[in-house]
Amino acid sequence: ECVQHGEFMHDTAKIDRLRDCYQKYNLNPKETILVDDRIYNQYAAIESGAHPVRMRCEFTTD
């Protein structure tokens, strides 16, 4: 599920949406691993109670 940030990068919209998703899908944040390639999303994952993993990948248009 796509979880977007709010108007400002420092707001809590992404953290709040992650917590909503945990409830929606009956997930325990302490047992949840979130994978994202953006470093600024790691904070939201940690603050929401999950364990973040930063995946680095390269996209090509070939």
**Structural domain of 27:** 1-62
pTM, rounded to two decimals = 0.72
Q: Report the alpha-carbon distance of residue 7 to residue 1 in Å, rounded.
A: 19
Query: What is the predicted pLDDT for the residue at 28?
Result: 97
- Split into its structural domains, the chain has a count of 1
pLDDT tens across 46-56, in order?
A: 999 999 998 87
- Sign of CA pseudo-dihedral 10, 16, 28, 34: negative
> How confident is the model over 14-23, as pLDDT tens digits?
898 899 999 9
**Can you name the residues that pair with 34 across neighbouring β-strands?**
52
Cβ neighbors of 42 (< 8 A, separation 6 or more) are 36, 52, 54
Comparing 33 with 1, the larger pLDDT belongs to 33
Half-sphere exposure of 24 (CA within 13 A, CB side): 8
**CB 60: neighbour CB atoms within 10 A?**
4
